[in-house]
């Protein structure tokens, strides 16, 4: 009885306190004070501030500056620009802590734990402009995006410049590839101080003297122009959007959401890889039941074209013949591969196909390729053809055929398609409303929209996608889980072609810390005949064969290719066993060690069994790395099946020396991995069976 009034007044008090709090957090307040938001563990802090009406932000990690005061905003073609003259109309915070499950991936369950700040800005005085900026602050990174509501009596917008800056406090070391060049994302990485960059693609990765690792990129790019960065002096980068042919950078209808601008921040290079900020910033699965999406491995009529053994075009050397395809189907069935990729199967490869003329048919096979019979033969053998849609950047031609092309796939049981966009720089043909030909950039908004149409069209027919010469990955696989893998960097093919663009031994020790922070890569590992002396005596792969095995674990892709010719695998059945055993869908990913451009060791747990796999690779230097197996179940016995560089192995002089051995291990074991120059180690850890 006595307690009742007490508890009533307590309740009233609490209600009042909550009301005050709500007021602080959610009610409009015009102010120019900086607004701070910290990450859940108080590791990162973002400060938003209007400086003379211009929106700015800065980021600190444990009190140390990561991004100094940097401007935000846009210049518009018409109406009031969104670059200054603002006051804060309101601000609001929100805490989020949820865990979601990837239908497939490098990590099954992903925690989304962040604090959000949404700042609504309005023009001062007579101005009626409005814009909101949303920041999501995680312990290992920050994402922010712009929300632009309807305004100025119009519901469309044309952005002529994005003003987002990233001002670094120091001249950090960084790994980057150039933007606005002809060859898309296909360049060797440069390792330089940031003051030596000009226009660069993202992801770009920085190492600070105090031991922080920072990556700039974007998330959820589905209807905007791709963002490159340009250094505008000193240690400042500014967003540089790929323009349309008329100079507008990005256009659309209002209200508009920009993609997220992302800053991943970790205190180890491996931390960047175990960082799921970009996926967290994408929208959840839009496709519903995706049980038809199946990670796996494929072989294909592919490497033989790159070696010049056969051709995509018709004629005596045509690779995609019925007979040759049956050989690959038999090989796939015998060795447990799900897919057989066939390039050059369709009419359009004869003559110059690379310049957007659009001569490809995506439904008409060459006469020596019996598509229907092969699809049936594959089915009988328990494998699937993997389709190939090289567009040659004839975008309108492909768009016209999308529905028919994917309907045909569905009819024939083709569950995955590899697409291709060989085309250069600003060389994409677009017919404008007046019937005039315009030239668009490969990464501009025109192409971003096209790629999204393809993702949606393929999903409609239950087809998975692997895109070569893609729009860079920004995590949209979360929203469209049929978007499996992409190229988007120098892949294996550069080794067949030779010349000064072929990959050096350190290339694959850079990719996991740069390009692959964006998402999976179809690198196409697994070349056993690394010298291919018969086919291309002047070119070669600059690794040992053991490193080729380790790449299956190091370079994540849900669809992995065993890229070499069947006969080269048949010649080395013991080493081939690892490619047969390795899986492509993971429950956990752990980076055991790594140094950008030098070495990396990754352990991943199979999602469908208790086995773990380890891949460890080095650059041109030999080294011994330790793999601490404490991630294994305590008290459980495992067998480590180890594929390591043999005595005297060396990418240059002795790439084929390999030792395959088994040893008992458990969670207290620390394996010493001896890697040859340009070498690697691949391990399967399976629970011991009696």
The count of C-alpha atoms lying within 13 angstroms of the C-alpha of 47, restricted to the half-sphere facing its C-beta, is 18
Report the nearest approach of ligand NOJ to the CB of residue 343 (Å): 5
Instruction: Compute the distance between CA of residue 246 and CA of residue 233 in angstroms, rounded to an integer.
Output: 27
One of 162, 493, 570, 647 is an active-site residue; which one? Answer: 493
Q: Percentages helix, strand, coil for the chain, rounded to the nearest 5? A: 20, 35, 45
The answer to the question of residue 564 lying near ligand NOJ (CB under 6 A) is no
Answer yes or no: 390 catalytic. Answer: no
CB 526 to ligand NOJ: min, Å: 14
- Which one, 331 or 345, has the nearer CB to ligand NOJ? 345
Dist CA 464 CA 481 (whole Å): 8
Q: Toward ligand NOJ, which CB reaches closer, 80 or 181?
A: 181
Identity of the residue, 307 or 602, whose beta carbon is nearer to ligand NOJ in the bound complex: 307
Selected binder of ligand NOJ within 122, 493, 529, 619 (CB under 6 A): 493
The CB-of-494 to ligand NOJ minimum distance in angstroms stands at 9
Q: How far is the CB of 306 from ligand NOJ (least distance, A)?
A: 7
Please pick, from the candidates 422, 531, 639, 659, the single residue that binds ligand NOJ as defined by CB under 6 A. Answer: 422
Q: Is 323 helix (H, G, I), strand (E, B) or coil?
A: helix
Cβ atoms of 570 and 532 within 8 Å: the answer is no
Among 106, 162, 207, 390, binds ligand NOJ (CB under 6 A): 390
Binding letters toward ligand NOJ, positions 349-388, x by CB under 6 A: ----------------------------------------
Helix (H) or strand (E) holding 574, with range, is helix 573-581
User: At closest approach, how far in Å is the CB of 498 from ligand NOJ?
Assistant: 16
Report the nearest approach of ligand NOJ to the CB of residue 456 (Å): 22
Please pick, from the candidates 300, 420, 512, 519, the single residue that binds ligand NOJ as defined by CB under 6 A. 420
User: Closest separation between CB of residue 193 and ligand NOJ, Å?
Assistant: 32
Counting residues that bind ligand NOJ (by CB under 6 A) gives 8
Kindly write out the interface string for residues 597-636 of this chain, putting x where it contacts ligand NOJ by CB under 6 A and - elsewhere. ----------------------------------------
Phi, psi of 231 (to 5 degrees): -80, 125
Q: 194 or 395: whose CB is closer to ligand NOJ?
A: 395
Within 300-339, the residues that bind ligand NOJ by CB under 6 A are 302
Where do the H-state alpha helices sit in 107-235?
none
CB atoms within 10 A of CB 433: 5
Q: How many angstroms separate the Cα of 307 from the Cα of each of 276, 525, 548, 603?
A: 37, 15, 18, 32
What is the pairing mode between strands 384-390 and 339-342? parallel
Residue 306 or 542 having the CB closest to ligand NOJ: 306
User: In three state form, how does the secondary structure of 451-484 look?
Assistant: HHHHHHHHHHCCCEEEECCCCCCCCCCCCCCCEE
Backbone angles phi, psi at 218, to 5 degrees: -145, 160
Interaction between residue 487 and ligand NOJ (CB under 6 A) = yes
For residue 385, the Cα-to-chain-centroid distance in whole angstroms is 25
191 close to 507: Cβ distance less than 8 angstroms: no
CB closer to ligand NOJ, 161 vs 487: 487
The site string for ligand NOJ over 337-356 (x = CB under 6 A, - otherwise) reads ------x-------------
Which residue is listed with tokens 């226009």?
199
Question: Does 468 engage in binding with ligand NOJ (CB under 6 A)?
Answer: yes
Q: How far is the CB of 449 from ligand NOJ (least distance, A)?
A: 22
Nearer to ligand NOJ, 392 or 679 (CB): 392
Q: Which residues contact 7 (CB under 8 A, 6 or more apart)?
A: none
Specify the residue, 406 or 643, whose C-beta has the smaller distance to ligand NOJ: 406
Using CA atoms, how far residue 508 sits from 183, 283, 675, in Å, is 19, 30, 14
CA 249 to chain centre: 23
Cα separation, 362 vs 391, in Å, equals 9
Tokens at 461, concatenated: 């027919």
Phi, psi dihedral angles at 163 (to 5 degrees): -100, 5
Contact positions vs ligand NOJ (CB under 6 A): 302, 343, 390, 420, 422, 468, 487, 493
What positions carry a catalytic annotation? 493
């Amino acid at each position: 009885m006595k307690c009742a009034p007490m508890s009533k007044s307590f309740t009233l008090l609490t209600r009042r306190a909550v009301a005050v709090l709500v007021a602080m957090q959610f009610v409009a307040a015009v102010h120019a004070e900086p607004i701070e938001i910290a990450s859940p563990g108080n590791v990162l802090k973002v400060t938003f501030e209007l400086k003379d009406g211009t929106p700015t932000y800065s980021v600190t990690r444990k009190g140390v500056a990561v991004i100094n005061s940097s401007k935000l905003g846009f210049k518009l073609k018409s109406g009031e620009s969104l670059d200054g003259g603002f006051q804060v109309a309101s601000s609001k915070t929100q805490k989020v802590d949820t865990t979601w499950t990837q239908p497939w991936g490098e990590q099954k369950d992903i925690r989304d734990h962040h604090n959000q700040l949404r700042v609504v800005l309005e023009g001062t005085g007579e101005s009626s402009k409005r814009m909101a900026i949303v920041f999501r602050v995680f312990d290992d990174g920050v994402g922010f995006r712009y929300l632009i509501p309807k305004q100025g009596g119009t519901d469309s917008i044309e952005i002529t410049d994005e003003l987002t800056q990233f001002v670094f406090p120091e001249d950090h070391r960084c790994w980057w590839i150039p933007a606005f060049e002809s060859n898309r994302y296909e360049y060797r990485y440069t390792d330089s101080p940031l003051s030596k960059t000009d226009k660069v693609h993202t992801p770009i990765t920085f190492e600070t003297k105090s031991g922080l690792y920072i990556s700039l990129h974007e998330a959820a790019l589905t209807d905007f122009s791709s963002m490159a960065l340009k250094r505008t002096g000193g240690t400042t980068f500014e967003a540089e959007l790929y323009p349309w042919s008329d100079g507008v950078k990005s256009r659309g209808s209002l209200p508009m959401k920009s993609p997220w601008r992302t800053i991943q921040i970790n205190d180890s290079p491996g931390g960047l890889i175990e960082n799921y900020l970009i996926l967290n910033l994408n929208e959840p699965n839009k496709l519903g039941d995706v049980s038809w999406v199946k990670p796996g491995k494929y072989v294909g009529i592919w490497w033989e074209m790159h070696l010049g053994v056969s051709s995509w075009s018709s004629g005596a050397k045509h690779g995609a013949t019925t007979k040759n395809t049956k050989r690959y189907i038999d090989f796939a069935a015998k060795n447990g591969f799900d897919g057989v990729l066939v390039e050059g199967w369709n009419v359009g490869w004869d003559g110059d196909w690379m310049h957007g003329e659009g001569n490809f048919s995506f439904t008409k096979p060459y006469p020596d390729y019996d598509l229907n019979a092969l699809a049936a033969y594959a089915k009988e053998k328990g494998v699937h053809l993997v389709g190939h849609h090289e567009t040659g950047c004839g975008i309108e031609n492909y768009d016209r055929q999308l529905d028919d092309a994917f309907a045909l796939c569905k009819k024939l049981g083709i569950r995955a398609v590899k697409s291709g966009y060989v085309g250069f720089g600003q060389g994409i043909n677009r017919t404008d409303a007046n019937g005039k030909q315009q030239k668009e950039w490969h990464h501009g908004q025109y192409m971003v929209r096209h790629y999204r149409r393809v993702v949606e069209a393929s999903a409609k027919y239950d087809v998975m996608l692997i895109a070569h010469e893609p729009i860079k990955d920004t995590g949209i696989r979360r929203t469209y889980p049929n978007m499996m893998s992409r190229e988007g960097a120098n892949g294996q093919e550069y080794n067949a072609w030779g010349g000064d663009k072929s990959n050096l031994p350190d290339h694959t020790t850079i990719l996991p810390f740069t390009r692959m922070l964006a998402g999976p890569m179809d690198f196409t590992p697994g070349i056993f005949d690394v010298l291919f002396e018969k086919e291309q005596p002047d070119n070669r792969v600059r690794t040992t064969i053991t490193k080729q095995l380790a790449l299956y674990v190091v370079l994540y892709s849900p669809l992995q290719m065993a890229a070499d010719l069947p006969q080269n695998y048949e010649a080395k059945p013991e080493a081939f066993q690892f490619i047969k055993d390795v899986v492509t869908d993971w429950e956990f990913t752990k980076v055991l060690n790594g140094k950008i451009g030098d070495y990396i060791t990754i352990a991943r747990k199979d999602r469908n069994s208790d086995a773990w796999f380890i891949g460890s690779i080095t650059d041109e230097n030999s080294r011994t790395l330790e793999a601490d197996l404490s991630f294994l179940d305590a008290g459980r016995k495992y067998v480590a099946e180890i594929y390591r560089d043999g005595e005297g192995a060396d990418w240059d002089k002795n790439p084929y020396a390999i030792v395959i051995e088994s040893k008992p291990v458990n969670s207290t074991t620390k394996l010493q991995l001896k890697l040859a120059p340009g070498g690697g180690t691949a391990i399967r850890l399976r629970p011991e069976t009696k």
